[in-house]
Amino acid sequence: MNHLFTQILVRIPIAMVSLCLSLFLQGQAQAQTVTKLIVPTSPGGGTDALFRVVSKDAQKFLGGPISIQNTPGAGGTIGLAQVVNSTPDGYTLAGVWPSPVTVVPQTSKVPYTPNDYIPVIQLSTAPYVFCVHPDFPASDGKTFIEEVRKNPKKYTYGTDGLGGPAQLATERIFRAQNIQAIDVPYKGAGETIIGFLSNQIDIYVGSIPPVLQHANAGKAKCLLVSSVNRNAQFPNASSLKDIGLAKEETLLWRIILAPKGTKPERIGQIVKAYSQAMKEPDTLRYLDEVGESSAVLTGKELQDKLNQEYAAFSVIAKSLNLR
C-alpha cells in the first residue's frame, strides 16, 4: 500500500510537468502563427486604416491572427527596412504605399534595394485628385490644363512633401504638357487641404478623403484625377484618358511586401487570404467610402508595374534635381 502511494506521488509531478510542457509548446506554436504586418506610417491615416480593415477580414482566411504594427519615419523607409531585415518566414510583412518603394529611393539613400523584398499582392488603388477654388477659370481637366499652361509659374499647387508621390505624379502630367507651376510642399494631405482652404495655394493635389467633404460642400472644384479612368467619388472630374495622357497615370496603391527568401508556399497563403478578403462586404464598403478601387495584382504583373513606376519616377526626380 505504501509502495503504491509513493508511486502515485511520484507520477503526479511528472504528469503536471508534462502537461505544463505540452501547454507551453502549444502556446509557442500559436504565437508563431501570428502574422505581423508592419505599416510604416502613423496610426489613423488612409494607409493604416485600409490595412486594418482588409487584414481583419484576411485573418479569417489565413488561419491565424494578423497584428498591425505602426513604424513611421523617413517616408516609410524605417519600417520597410525593418521588414527586409527580418527572418524571411512570411510572418513579418510590410503594408506599404508608393513612398518607401518607388519615391523616397529616388531622392534619398535608403538601406535596401528592390531586390531585398518580394511584392506579394496589390490590394487597391486610388488616384490623386487635382482640385481648385470655385472661382478658378476652368470647368474640366482640359480647360484646367490649358489655363495653367498659358500662365507659367502663376499658379501654386500643394503636395504631401518635396519629392513626394503627389509632386512626382503632378510633374509627370505637367511636364508632358509643358506646364510650369510652383510646388508648395506640406507634411501630408491633411496639411495640404488646410493650406488650400485658407487660400495659401491655388491647387490641391492629394488623396481623395481629405478634400471629399469640402468638394461636396462646394468649397473645392475637383477637375482632374491622375488615373486612366474616372473616379466614382468625382464622376465629373476628367481622367487622364479624357485629356490624352493615359501613359502618365500615377496611382496611390496599397501593396504587401515580404522579405527576400520567403518561401513560395507562404507567399501563396498570403495571396489567397488577402485576395479573399478583398471580396468581403466590410472591405468593399470601406473602399467605396474612401474612393479606392479593389485592384488585386500579383506575381510578374505586380513586379512589372513597380519596375515601370520606379523608372518613371527616376526620370522625373532627376529632371527636378531632387537627388
Write out pLDDT tens, residues 57-111.
999 999 999 999 999 888 889 999 999 999 999 999 999 999 999 999 998 899 9
Report the alpha-carbon distance of residue 238 to residue 246 in Å, rounded. Answer: 11
CATH 3.40.190.10 at 129-248, yes or no? yes
pLDDT more than 70, % of the chain: 90
* DSSP 8-state class, residue 264: H
Q: Do 129-248 and 35-125+251-319 have the same topology in CATH? A: yes
Taking alpha carbons only, the member of 146, 196, 191 closest to residue 45 is 191
CATH of domain 35-125+251-319: 3.40.190.150
Report the alpha-carbon distance of residue 215 to residue 69 in Å, rounded. Answer: 33
Q: What does the angle CA 310 – CA 311 – CA 317 come to, to the nearest 5 degrees?
A: 85
- Model pTM score: 0.78
pLDDT tens for the chain, residues 1 to 323: 555 444 544 454 544 444 444 444 444 444 447 999 999 988 877 788 899 999 999 999 999 999 999 998 888 899 999 999 999 999 999 999 999 999 999 988 999 999 999 999 999 999 999 999 999 999 999 999 999 999 999 999 998 878 888 898 999 999 999 999 999 988 778 889 999 999 999 999 998 888 999 999 999 999 999 999 999 899 999 999 999 999 999 999 999 999 999 999 999 999 999 999 999 999 999 999 888 999 999 999 999 999 999 998 898 888 888 76
How do the domains of the chain map onto residue ranges? 35-125+251-319, 129-248
By the 10 Å C-beta count (0-12 exposed, 13-18 middle, 19+ buried), 26 is classed as exposed
Query: Burial code of 215-248, b = ≥16 C-beta within 10 A, e = fewer?
Result: beeeebbbbbbbbbebbebbeebbbbebbebeeb
Write out pLDDT tens, residues 72-86.
888 889 999 999 999
* DSSP 8-state class, residue 239: P
